[in-house]
Amino acid sequence: MHRDIKPENFLIKDDNTGQDMLKLGDFGLTRQVNEQANLTEYVGTRWYRAPEISLSMTPYTAKFDIFALGCIMAELYLGRPIFPGRTSIEQIS
């Protein structure tokens, strides 16, 4: 699990040949997928964090990375973050 998927962690390489490349970076919070593991409650940036994580529901899985990708896709479509907030409470309300 990456656990910190956000736009700032996507790297785009333009090599002027039409073969642009998109990579995911910043693997500081990455953990092996293991449903038995005790993982920290802090995962990722609030705006892209699944509500289950904000509500401290565990165990969590790689499915939460998919939620973050969905938030990014919505942000690209709308032109603004879909779940902005200054605190975890604001994000889920």
**Domain ranges across the chain:** 7-25+43-92
Contacts of 23 (CB under 8 A, 6+ apart): 10, 11, 12, 13
- What per-residue confidence (pLDDT) applies to 80? 92
Active site residues: 4
For the chain, give the number of residues. Answer: 93
Per-residue pLDDT of the chain (93 residues), as tens digits, is 777 888 888 888 887 777 888 888 877 666 666 655 555 555 657 787 777 776 766 666 778 888 889 999 999 999 998 888 766 555 454
Q: Does domain 7-25+43-92 have CATH number 3.40.50.300?
A: no
- Identify the CA nearest to 4 among candidates 25, 22, 35: 25
**Residues 89, 51: Cα–Cα separation, whole Å:** 10
